[in-house]
């Protein structure tokens, strides 16, 4: 995997997190089967969808901002090598890949929080 392709993955995940936080905060993130935390618990009702996504917002916000910071750092490192006339080392791929792994952990915690919150608004579900 190249530095640019792994950086692209970080940018995509960051954009999804930021968009989900923005839509949820605006109350404009409606239940759907295409985009969002599509768990059985969150898809059960509009109330469960909203509760789940609100619970996930803090985790998604951190993942999104972390992605922004790591994107800036990675781009600065790439530019530093290019401007100095050096080749970008293949080992630099560790920076965006590490960031992506940390983002995925944050998103997983957000998904767990969403599942718990969505189940709380559904009587009889655990």
Could you read off the pLDDT of 17-27 as tens digits, one per residue?
A: 999 999 999 99
Q: What is the pLDDT of residue 93?
A: 94
pLDDT the model gives residue 123: 66
Distance CA 9, CA 17 (A): 12
Q: What is the pLDDT of residues 42-63, one digit of tens each?
A: 999 999 999 999 999 999 999 9
Domain boundaries, the chain: 3-120
Assigned token pair, 116: 């718990």
Q: Whole-number mean pLDDT of the chain?
A: 93
pTM of the entire predicted model: 0.87
CB 67 within 8 A of CB 99: yes
Instruction: Write out residues in the chain with pLDDT < 70, as ranges.
Output: 123-126
Return the residue matching tokens 């999804």.
16
Q: Which of 50, 44, 47 is nearest to 27 (CA)?
A: 50
Given a contact cutoff of 8 angstroms between Cβ atoms, the answer to whether 16 and 60 are in contact is no
């Amino acid at each position: 995997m190249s530095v640019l392709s792994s950086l692209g993955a970080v940018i995509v995940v960051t954009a999804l997190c930021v968009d989900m936080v923005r839509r949820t905060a605006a109350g404009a993130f409606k239940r759907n089967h295409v985009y969002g935390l599509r768990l059985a618990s969150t898809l059960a009702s509009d109330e469960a969808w909203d509760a789940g996504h609100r619970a996930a917002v803090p985790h998604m916000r951190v993942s999104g901002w972390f992605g922004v910071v790591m994107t800036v750092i990675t781009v600065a490192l790439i530019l530093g090598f290019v401007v100095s006339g050096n080749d970008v080392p293949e080992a630099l791929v560790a920076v965006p890949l590490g960031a992506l792994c940390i983002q995925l952990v944050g998103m997983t915690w957000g998904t767990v929080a969403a599942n718990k919150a969505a189940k709380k608004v559904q009587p009889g579900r655990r």
